[in-house]
Amino acid sequence: MYSWILRVNTVLTLSVTVLAALCAVASMTDGLHRPSPAVELKVLNVGPLERLRNGDDRIALTLSIKADLESVFTWNTKQLFVFVAAEYWSPEEGFNQISLWDTIIEKKENAKIDQQIKSKMLRKATRVGYFTYPFQGKDLRGRDFNLTMYWNVMPISGAFFTDKAVVPGFQLPISYN
Ligand SMILES: *[C@@H]1O[C@H](CO)[C@@H](O)[C@H](O)[C@H]1NC(C)=O
């Protein structure tokens, strides 16, 4: 009886160890993988800058979001959470990050993105599988901003990590209309 339990225990421990070792190898080989993503973010149109009742400013941007994240995928990739954020500095608040668009990519075959979006409304577009959010913040007049695409990589095993591509050099209108 005793030895039977012991044996089961040993087999279990062994298989857990083997599994753990496999996982370690998985995330190690994954770490050697060097992806070469291509990202192109453009502002196609800038809507009027509005002052809202609550004192915030809001602006509608039409963006072109193009990316090829196929090379980010390995056999150990479960999914990518991808988002595009406008980032700017303000004297009052320091670093600001406003998410304008996000999506989840579960397959390498879907890792090529080519979309035109308008950032104005909060809406869910299930057919194409992404969300858009408004560009809203304190006094946006004349702000210089960057568009940054982030991708959070969720692996099947191992720690998740984030990478990004920054496209700098955009500016908001200097006055309301
Ligand atoms: C925008 O990008 C430039 C150039 O990469 C960088 O120096 C600057 O700090 C960025 N601004 C923000 C708010 O991240």
CA atoms within 13 A on the CB side of 134: 15
* pLDDT one-digit tens code per residue, 74-87: 999 999 999 999 99
Please state, in angstroms and rounded to a whole number, the distance separating the CA atoms of residues 60 and 45.
8
Q: Is the pLDDT of residue 27 over 80?
A: no
Q: Which of 146, 167, 170, 171 to mutate to test the pocket of ligand 1 (most atoms within 8 A of CB)?
A: 146
Share of the chain above pLDDT 90, in %: 66
Put simply, whether the predicted model's pTM sits higher than 0.85 gets the answer: no
CB 49 within 8 A of CB 175: yes
Torsion (CA) 128, 34, 154, 12 in degrees, nearest 10? 140
Indicate whether residue 146 lines ligand 1 (CB < 6 A).
yes
* pLDDT one-digit tens code per residue, 114-143: 999 888 655 555 556 788 888 999 999 999
Q: Residue 119 CB: number of other CB atoms within 10 A?
A: 24
Residue type (1 letter), 1: M
At 64, the pLDDT band (50, 70, 90 cuts) reads very high
Q: Is the pLDDT of residue 32 over 80?
A: no
Indicate whether residue 168 lines ligand 1 (CB < 6 A).
yes
> Which atom of ligand 1 is nearest the CA belonging to 95?
13
